[in-house]
Structure 1
């Protein structure tokens, strides 16, 4: 009896501690009500928040506006911002241990922080002032926060104060990330090494069955260069008034990034100041950027461009800090790092850098340098363009601004209140005297060095095309080709849909963002049916043949097709590449399209010659036991995970993760679903997809509709941690008004930030 009483008291104490801890951590949720006095503001700032936790900030000055944006970013996403800062500075192992040591080394080697430190002194005074105001807002929130968000308590860390170099580091990393999403240089070089130089021609294959973004009448005189596949995606399109049921331009955007982690990249916000800044759309915590949305005069969005803007040059080494270049010796800058590792001793690490770029490989005899526009175009340029973009009013100014975003590698789409629509490639395009952008170049050869970048007047753009619409889905940009890694599929579907009707409504544009028709299935369904027929699976062959190619969760034919398509990769390439066959996935489309017999015929069957149908039959034999008569929603799921959920007890206590949920779409549908595939059990885990969706109808700025996949807040105790989840899965839209009257009507909360001086009076 006494033991039971003691056990009861112990359990009661544990419960009290847990409840107390939970109550304490709930105090870390962002404030939405009341009046807070803050040192650093000039004037009163009002923040109206709607039922989804979306703030609309009203300030008298731009400085106070950016201060408040920094405050809001920190209040909702401080841990995310801390991780981004640590990624750029190579400090993740300090939090998570040895497993991330190599990742830290890679990021230190890429020199994000070095670029930021070199860029900081070059900031324009006005840009520096606004950036500092944003940073002051971040630091002000951190200073008053008690407690900090739960991740800081769990990891037992306190964030350092933010500085200008931190913001610039995040900016450089994000511009790198936009290209890293799609870069395949190393894989393609490996394929050339394994399969021969003739593979280079396949990698450079121009897909004439996939339309470009820029209409032919706007073609520019570039030489024909490579076209590669990619791994991630985005969609955006604009309709001219003559194509719209509202007789005004319509602008749709859904950038595809990671959807399997929480929080997502974007935070929705409205920003308004008496000095003329007005914006409604998505912001990126850690950056004072108005990334995608509209300012009441013009709207903008972007997709990853896919152009190959990285080359590798190899130089003879003269000494530790000197290499031989085409015009003499080149000095290297050496940086000694001490990487802190959680629960381990610090690890020394040395990196080298020069005006050409970062040293990525070295021996006593040779040095390999990575050439990337980010080493030529500083983060100061990127910030200057970001601040200019917020007041864009016409396409000419827009073109000049978005082509000055440093090394940001994106396609920009434009629309405005006057009914104009436009497209501009923002990527800095290197001028090269060679076509092969994959192989490592001889640094001693001056012809292997870039000759600058294309000037604005020679960059691809389009303005008010006769067809009345423009679209970008990470596809080929022009018919006269630029080297890169492009997705040929989704542009086909959006082109068909936009051409099919004389006019489209905003609702129809929104519905297209959830469209699940598979372009890959439309192209290769017949080959799958042929393989099934050769295998004797007539009933399934009929089902696949009659399937409408939509990837809804209840489709069984679609589920089988997706497994079959993945199994076509080992069926085609395992004989050539053994256990490295996955690296050839990007070759599958072109090998089948062009019927490349040398790669279709299997080397492990010398007595027979296989054609595509025979390979399809082999893939069918692999796919059938994996399929198990399951629907797409059974084999393809989405689980949204918090970084700390790797500690299972934390996930259970704090309810960090969401899912698994059945997932719509596939990699070639407009409702894009990029999934990792298990060849062991035939299942797909969704990773990348729409990171937000918006549709803007210029006839009514108060009807702007927008969604996130999860929620505004990164704090698991916040009511806005996941309150967009049900909306997104049910395809329900959230309306975000622009006029102050409508903002106030929709607001659920109002918070006032007061300057310290005003309070004292």
Structure 2
């Protein structure tokens, strides 16, 4: 059963209708910063001492605590204050409770989510968690509950999606963490399994071989028309750029770092900017809501960034030959909003849950999932260790406990050193590429040996004076970490920008993060021009051809060439390629490379005729839109903004954007023959210069606050467009000067804070 997104929206609409027309009859009340901060429950906090939280005008917090556990409590308070609706949706998705939010249409989505069984390893993780990590994590949970249970006003998600107030547990925190660690391979499989079943075996085999030549889940992963796919894609760290520059290559004489993660574009932003100070932690960075650690950040001694490794921590096995006795069955009850509860039978094999019984990985064959996330690992402890590391050795050692999902981690130290390391737990497969997406049970032998960070390639102090990661294929190691990676274009562009003769400063890194030159598209442009029709051309066709001839790969908003190229490419590809094959191409970021191969294999006359057929529409659309930014737009949408009549309450107005699929400033899109919206790409930026404790700049595409109507809900969009940043210092005196809004959490036994606090 395949659930279209429009049907799911209908299900949400039915659920909302159950509340009555008055449920949300007017625009959210506009709240300024002081009004939002006044909503914080400051008294009777579960801390041992008072904790000061300073806020800047963008509602970015800097927490000062006398005890590490109190710091974590305050972090939980901050996450819940800013993003309670967001993290409550994540919690229900992690447990397969979508039907409780939207009604019966969510039942089959819940079947798939419960088959993925995100919480399977949680009991073992709890048993093996160190005492200090447990105390810190429990403090974070206590902070969330302090906001959740205080009885104050709840965000709109509670009323519209029918949430009851349910205290968080440490198990909830770890289960949501496993949702965030969902394997990126699953999104590839969701798209390719239907093609595998529909195409002739020989056609599928040839296609599979081509896809394996290099690629990874593309921007299509953010174009899900299925609720389950949307839920997974929203959490997957499926892209990103990160680079560290050694001290000898910078103007300041200290190392620098720059990172910009790529995720589905939407509201609230998938990141939070936070600063903190306690006896054990003194750092600034960005965090994912409901995860108590910084994936990108900087402390007094080091800085770190991360990109998705695209590691394949999962395999699908054909278990059709398994005996009936070897298949176990469990029954679960799914509550559906506005309808009776449903009982679902979930099957399990020795190779893992039979995920093909659910709609997200549906198949005629029974397919079992083996996932590294079903085994215990300790991401919280690893990343808290990173935040406290003081040098390369302690940094690398801290990452040993990090299992899923795999990440490239970029390191910069205050000694000027830089490094790039892979962090993941992965089966040690052979270098021989799999001959199919679905494996036979005999291939499970590769899971008998598991490698961690210490067994993977490391680049330390390279001669070029920098390291950069853009999701490209890792350098050779003892075993393959995955099969689908980004094309090298972004990584090569990053290297070109960082390797010039002049030393670099933070202004240079700001320009790098906004770079929209995509030279990798020019080979495909040249192939189109080489087969250009010989027939007489009217003015519109000549204008389009001229735009292509003079184009240098620039994807800026004002680029005429980028628009001409993308319009023509989409038209030609649609005429030459079987739609099923094209859908498969667009499941990986190697679409342009695969199309170039196809075009090169065609008789020139066939390609010329396709260009001739595509030209009229391309010319029409070029005349209509003129420049790339007129057709290429960003519209930030909130999940509740998909509801009829609710867009104006929750969504941001669309705006023109530069960038493309393979530019450093990434704004991912499908092949389009007209106006379209980018839905995947850069959504946060971080730059630090380790010569200055205060030189830490951040910005989000959206805002800090997830509360619709808040002054800080959308207030960073203009900063983002102008290439500006928010400075978050580490020096406490600088924080006290720049973060003027002060709130104090007080424990039950403490006296009221004195005036001035």
Using the TM superposition, give the Cα deviation of residue 715 of structure 1 relative to its aligned residue in structure 2, in angstroms: 0.2
Alpha-carbon separation, structure 1, partners of 2:34 and 2:186? 34
Q: Match of 1:716, SS?
A: coil
Alpha-carbon separation, structure 2, partners of 1:675 and 1:130? 40
From 622, 638, 657, the equivalent of 2:634 is 638
Judge conservation of contact 2:519–2:552 (CA < 8 Å) in 1.
no
Match of 1:673 in 2: 667
Change (3 A) 1:117 1:26: farther
Alpha-carbon separation, structure 2, partners of 1:180 and 1:738? 39
Judge conservation of contact 2:510–2:723 (CA < 8 Å) in 1.
no
Alpha-carbon separation, structure 1, partners of 2:237 and 2:291? 25
Judge conservation of contact 1:80–1:263 (CA < 8 Å) in 2.
yes
Using the TM superposition, give the Cα deviation of residue 320 of structure 1 relative to its aligned residue in structure 2, in angstroms: 5.0
Match of 1:267 in 2: 272
Alpha-carbon separation, structure 1, partners of 2:736 and 2:464? 39
Alpha-carbon separation, structure 1, partners of 2:214 and 2:671? 27
Change (3 A) 1:469 1:27: closer
Stretch deviating more after TM superposition (294-303 or 248-257): 294-303
Match of 2:226 in 1: none
Q: Can you list the C-alpha shifts for 1:255-297, whole angstroms capped at 9, x where unaligned?
A: 01122x2101111111111x22112011122121122101111
Judge conservation of contact 1:554–1:632 (CA < 8 Å) in 2.
yes
Residue 89, structure 1, aligned to residue 95, structure 2: yes
Match of 1:583 in 2: 584
Residue 322, structure 1, aligned to residue 345, structure 2: no
Match of 2:247 in 1: 241
Stretch deviating more after TM superposition (336-345 or 239-248): 336-345
Match of 1:657 in 2: 651
Q: Can you list the C-alpha shifts for 1:18-63, whole angstroms capped at 9, x where unaligned?
A: 9999669999964269993224210110000001100000111111
Output aligned runs, 1:159-238, within 5 Å.
159-176=165-182, 180=186, 186=193, 189=196, 193=201, 195-205=203-213, 233-238=239-244
Change (3 A) 1:446 1:514: closer
Q: Can you list the C-alpha shifts for 1:85-138, whole angstroms capped at 9, x where unaligned?
A: 011111122112344333322211111123334433332222221111111111
Match of 1:699 in 2: 691
Output aligned runs, 1:474-623, within 5 Å.
474-478=471-475, 482-488=481-487, 489-534=489-534, 536=537, 537-574=541-578, 578=579, 581-585=582-586, 586=588, 588-591=591-594, 594=597, 600-601=601-602, 616-617=611-612, 619-620=614-615, 623=618
Alpha-carbon separation, structure 1, partners of 2:188 and 2:54? 38
Residue 735, structure 1, aligned to residue 735, structure 2: no
Change (3 A) 1:158 1:592: closer
Residue 726, structure 1, aligned to residue 718, structure 2: yes
Judge conservation of contact 2:257–2:412 (CA < 8 Å) in 1.
yes
From 332, 343, 349, the equivalent of 1:337 is 332
Change (3 A) 1:746 1:514: same
Stretch deviating more after TM superposition (122-131 or 164-173): 122-131
Judge conservation of contact 1:671–1:690 (CA < 8 Å) in 2.
yes
Using the TM superposition, give the Cα deviation of residue 720 of structure 1 relative to its aligned residue in structure 2, in angstroms: 1.0
Q: Match of 2:261, SS?
A: strand
Using the TM superposition, give the Cα deviation of residue 594 of structure 1 relative to its aligned residue in structure 2, in angstroms: 4.9
Q: Can you list the C-alpha shifts for 1:639-669, whole angstroms capped at 9, x where unaligned?
A: 11122123343444xx321111111111111
Alpha-carbon separation, structure 1, partners of 2:33 and 2:149? 15
Q: Mark the runs of 5 or more structure 1 residues left unpaired by the alignment.
A: 1-15, 208-229, 324-331, 602-607
Judge conservation of contact 2:149–2:165 (CA < 8 Å) in 1.
no
From 356, 360, 366, the equivalent of 1:361 is 356
> What's the Cα RMSD here?
3.3
Judge conservation of contact 1:245–1:504 (CA < 8 Å) in 2.
yes
Residue 471, structure 1, aligned to residue 468, structure 2: yes
Using the TM superposition, give the Cα deviation of residue 543 of structure 1 relative to its aligned residue in structure 2, in angstroms: 2.1
Stretch deviating more after TM superposition (514-523 or 729-738): 514-523
Match of 1:708 in 2: 700
From 292, 296, 299, the equivalent of 2:296 is 292
Alpha-carbon separation, structure 1, partners of 2:99 and 2:89? 11
Match of 2:342 in 1: 347
Judge conservation of contact 1:673–1:686 (CA < 8 Å) in 2.
yes
Match of 1:219 in 2: none
Q: TM-score, normalised by structure 2?
A: 0.85
Judge conservation of contact 1:25–1:150 (CA < 8 Å) in 2.
no
- Aligned residue-pair number: 696
Q: Can you list the C-alpha shifts for 1:391-421, whole angstroms capped at 9, x where unaligned?
A: 1112222223224212222111111111110
Judge conservation of contact 1:66–1:133 (CA < 8 Å) in 2.
yes
Judge conservation of contact 2:80–2:148 (CA < 8 Å) in 1.
yes
Q: Can you list the C-alpha shifts for 1:440-469, whole angstroms capped at 9, x where unaligned?
A: 556452675433223544311101101101
Q: Can you list the C-alpha shifts for 1:657-694, whole angstroms capped at 9, x where unaligned?
A: 11111111111111100124545xx2221101212101
Stretch deviating more after TM superposition (484-493 or 142-151): 142-151
Alpha-carbon separation, structure 2, partners of 1:664 and 1:20? 34
Using the TM superposition, give the Cα deviation of residue 148 of structure 1 relative to its aligned residue in structure 2, in angstroms: 1.3
Alpha-carbon separation, structure 2, partners of 1:497 and 1:544? 24
Change (3 A) 1:180 1:297: farther
From 296, 311, 327, the equivalent of 2:315 is 311
Alpha-carbon separation, structure 1, partners of 2:316 and 2:131? 35
Alpha-carbon separation, structure 1, partners of 2:159 and 2:214? 53
Change (3 A) 1:531 1:232: farther
Alpha-carbon separation, structure 2, partners of 1:24 and 1:543? 46
Alpha-carbon separation, structure 2, partners of 1:504 and 1:496? 13
Using the TM superposition, give the Cα deviation of residue 156 of structure 1 relative to its aligned residue in structure 2, in angstroms: 4.2
Change (3 A) 1:464 1:656: same
Q: Match of 1:706, SS?
A: strand
Stretch deviating more after TM superposition (484-493 or 415-424): 484-493
Match of 2:18 in 1: none
Alpha-carbon separation, structure 2, partners of 1:20 and 1:553? 35
Alpha-carbon separation, structure 2, partners of 1:237 and 1:277? 24
Stretch deviating more after TM superposition (485-494 or 150-159): 150-159
Alpha-carbon separation, structure 2, partners of 1:713 and 1:447? 45
Change (3 A) 1:735 1:63: same
Stretch deviating more after TM superposition (102-111 or 53-62): 102-111
Give the greater-gyration-radius structure (CA).
1
Using the TM superposition, give the Cα deviation of residue 238 of structure 1 relative to its aligned residue in structure 2, in angstroms: 0.8
Alpha-carbon separation, structure 2, partners of 1:27 and 1:155? 26
